Structure 1
Amino acid sequence: MAHCALEVADVFRSLGPGWHQSVNLSLGQLKVVSAIEQCRSAALGGHVLRCEGCAAIEVAYNSCRNRHCPKCQAAAARRWLEARQADLLPVEYYHVVFTLPAAISEIAYYNKAVIYGLLFDMAAETLRTIAADPKHLGAQIGATLVLHTWGSALTHHPHVHGIVPGGGLSPDRSRWVACRPGFFLPVRVLSRLFRRRFLEELEAVYHRGQLQFFGEHTELIDPGVFAKWLAPMRACEWVVYAKRPFAGPEAVLAYLSRYTHRVAISNQRLISLDERGVTFRWKDYRVDGRTRNKTMTLAANEFVRRFLLHVLPAGFHRIRHYGVLANPSRRENLSKIRALLHVALEAVDPDGDVSSCAAQPSFVCRHCGSPMIIIDMLQRSRPIRAPPPEQCHA
């Protein structure tokens, strides 16, 4: 495997072994740092491999498998996509995005599980409600939503990307109701309902005492101040948009491979690490309505601070399925839809993985392409874990 010249792990290491003791990090963030620093190193153990073709010997160190690690997500995305291939339907697919206003994004950082959860649920509810309305589609739809919490410059920018089949089941489940070609649902209607429902639920969780406020937002503890803070957001436009349909199922999978297991920044975007800090590539979407490719340099500690903004709460699912694609009934619903569309299902195994993928070797020689076999095991020297609680301020 090709090795990137610079990695996020190198930035962590450049701050020294005790840097985390001087900053306010949670145990979850410290565990992410530990995992990324040790990923594919001797600390985690590994395998000694021999090529069956050219007899080359190679050592492969184990991955940390942390979902925030830039080096581990390609394999995770590949496994997930193999399972998703069996779910694709021969219909148009649409890409929709729901974004939170900046003011709510600011309090979301201290209330990740609550507000990210609302973002998922209200986006899904909005899509399903408008689609079920006979004035628009009049059908039961499904959606796969993926949470991203970052902007290109590593700022905190929570939003969900949705992949939605262009149609759904009729209310009596007797026929497939297709969208108009090239058009999914009216964006303005989606935006207004999303705004109303999100703010209603945000008020509800506030009055149940489920929100925390710190720093400059401490005054929001007062209900009157909170109501005044919330008022402008009822009038501003919330960003919801839908892109043109994908060019076939292959394009859907290509998109998913880029988005489902993406982390805040990939190693490939890093350019240099020196006395000035970390230089990386980013995209500026605010110039003349066009995307501009730029570079940015941040001090190493600021780069790490921004990266760790995007560590998710333990157990929080960043990919979720709703409606007819919801996990409990997905297989049954997909079978029903295929029958209505007169489409035969390709042969897959009981878990939904495409059978042709099962014969792929785990390790392939980078010299001749032949399979490699494991001839020895290397034991890990220490587990991935955060420092003891007394070393953590959060």
Structure 2
Amino acid sequence: MVELQDIFAAHGQAYRLNHSLWLNQLKVMRAIESCRTASLGGHVDACDTCEFTRISYNSCRNRHCPKCQTLNKERWIEARKNDLLNVGYFHVVFTLPDLLNPVAYQNQQIVYDLLFKAAADTLAELSADEKYLGAQIGFTSILHTWGQNLMHHPHLHCIVPGGGLNASGKWVHSRKKFFIPVKVLSRKFRGKFLNYLKQAKLMFYGTISDLKDPCRFHDLMSLLYQKEWVVYCKPPFKNAGCVIEYLGRYTHRVAISNNRIVKLEDGLVTFKWRDYKDSNKQKEMTVTADEFIRRFLIHVLPTGLTRIRHYGLLSPRNKATKLKLCKKLTNTKLNDPPKTKLTTLDFLKKLTGKDFTICPCCSIGHLSRASPEQVIA
């Protein structure tokens, strides 16, 4: 199976020679190229019964590497299970207009932070309004910067519970449909984001350097105010288990997973994508390796940017108090968090039911880190 690592190994060096890249993009490329290879070092496992030995190379652990996020994703989901309430959940998506894509790409840290802030303020303010819910809610926001074709498409996925805690300390249930009209959400979000953007210190260069002129920037703002922004609410989740399943698909993934890459041949990359404009049909797209790498690197995030954030009742300062109260009010089972963190092998055994220390050769002995004497022998 072709992997992202294979594409970088075959065409990454040529791409770096022909294109100017940011430091974080260079680091991601090199990390993925080196992942689970001898260049990162490793260790030898030996069976305590037979003579079987196995070399295990170290992972790069980069958050953009498709091979390194599976275990992190499962650990994160396990921790989030304790935050779920016994209520329905909604899936709300906030999307930036295409007109803003060049500005967002050149000012990623600023624009992505504003996207989080505008969406969070919109949800919190409208939820607190007696007209809609009259309560404080708790929600999780997850940043995505890509569409199915890997082009730049910044948007936020928000998981919102169907209710909240009012000023009297009582739980308020929402209607079955999302409690805030989508058009109200959209216009409030548009107003907040553009207000924050006007106050931000932005950089403009290359194809959008003309926006340094205040008049041109004002024209862009006017166009953005005139557009209807896309905010939509997907059908509600059936149960808490579906929330976890959703989180597993979306949290620890960047741009494309290895199983969507079909082939690498004659300098061309073919990958699977879903065309939402054509009845959600799954199709294949073929682009040059250079174009594929370019599209992937668009989604390399600034160092230190947090792409999963929690607000309201789920914020760190409220989890120990208000969230605990909400669990009692919604008849949610209280689970004590684990006292100790499971080792990687123990966690894998819990997930799969398989003991990965069993020797694959004799199926009797167990693998453990080999001593220097065993390695030399």
TM-score (norm 2): 0.90
Residue 334 and residue 278 in structure 1: after superposition, are their counterparts in 2 closer, same or farther (change >3 A)? same
Pick one of 196, 216, 221 that aligns with 1:201: 196
Q: Comparing both structures, which one devotes a greater share of its residues to helix?
A: 2
Q: In 1, Cα distance between the equivalents of 2:241 and 2:63?
A: 25
**Once structures 1 and 2 are overlaid, which stretch shifts more, 335-344 or 310-319?**
335-344
CA shift for structure 1 position 352: 9.6
Residue 336 and residue 19 in structure 1: after superposition, are their counterparts in 2 closer, same or farther (change >3 A)? same
Could you say which residue in structure 1 is the equivalent of 2:209? 218
The sequence identity of aligned pairs, in percent, is: 47
Could you say which residue in structure 1 is the equivalent of 2:139? 143
State the secondary structure of the residue aligned to 2:238: coil
Could you say which residue in structure 2 is the equivalent of 1:233? 224
Asked if 1:162 is matched to 2:153, the reply is: no
Asked if 1:273 is matched to 2:264, the reply is: yes
Contact map agreement 1:94 1:242 (CA 8 A) in 2: yes
Amino acid paired to 2:158? G
State the secondary structure of the residue aligned to 2:277: strand
Residue 53 and residue 121 in structure 1: after superposition, are their counterparts in 2 closer, same or farther (change >3 A)? farther
Pick one of 238, 257, 277 that aligns with 1:247: 238
Residue 230 and residue 362 in structure 1: after superposition, are their counterparts in 2 closer, same or farther (change >3 A)? farther
Residue 16 and residue 144 in structure 1: after superposition, are their counterparts in 2 closer, same or farther (change >3 A)? closer
State the secondary structure of the residue aligned to 1:286: coil
CA shift for structure 1 position 96: 0.6
Contact map agreement 2:47 2:53 (CA 8 A) in 1: yes
Unaligned runs of 5+ in 1: 379-394
Contact map agreement 2:359 2:367 (CA 8 A) in 1: no
Could you say which residue in structure 2 is the equivalent of 1:390? none
Unaligned runs of 5+ in 2: 373-377
TM-score (norm 1): 0.87
Amino acid paired to 2:148? S
CA shift for structure 1 position 164: 1.0
Q: In 2, Cα distance between the equivalents of 1:6 and 1:319?
A: 29
CA shift for structure 1 position 341: 2.4
Amino acid paired to 1:260? T
CA shift for structure 1 position 12: 1.1
Q: In 2, Cα distance between the equivalents of 1:366 and 1:223?
A: 68
Contact map agreement 1:84 1:352 (CA 8 A) in 2: no
Pick one of 152, 172, 182 that aligns with 1:177: 172
Residue 280 and residue 357 in structure 1: after superposition, are their counterparts in 2 closer, same or farther (change >3 A)? closer
CA shift for structure 1 position 179: 0.7
CA shift digits 1:56-102 (9 cap, x unpaired): 53322211110000111111101111111111111101111000000
Q: In 2, Cα distance between the equivalents of 1:116 and 1:352?
A: 32
CA shift for structure 1 position 371: 9.1
Residue 55 and residue 118 in structure 1: after superposition, are their counterparts in 2 closer, same or farther (change >3 A)? farther
Contact map agreement 2:45 2:368 (CA 8 A) in 1: yes
Q: In 2, Cα distance between the equivalents of 1:367 and 1:90?
A: 43
**Which structure would you say has the larger RCO, counting Cα contacts within 8 Å and 6 or more residues apart?**
1
CA shift for structure 1 position 364: 4.7
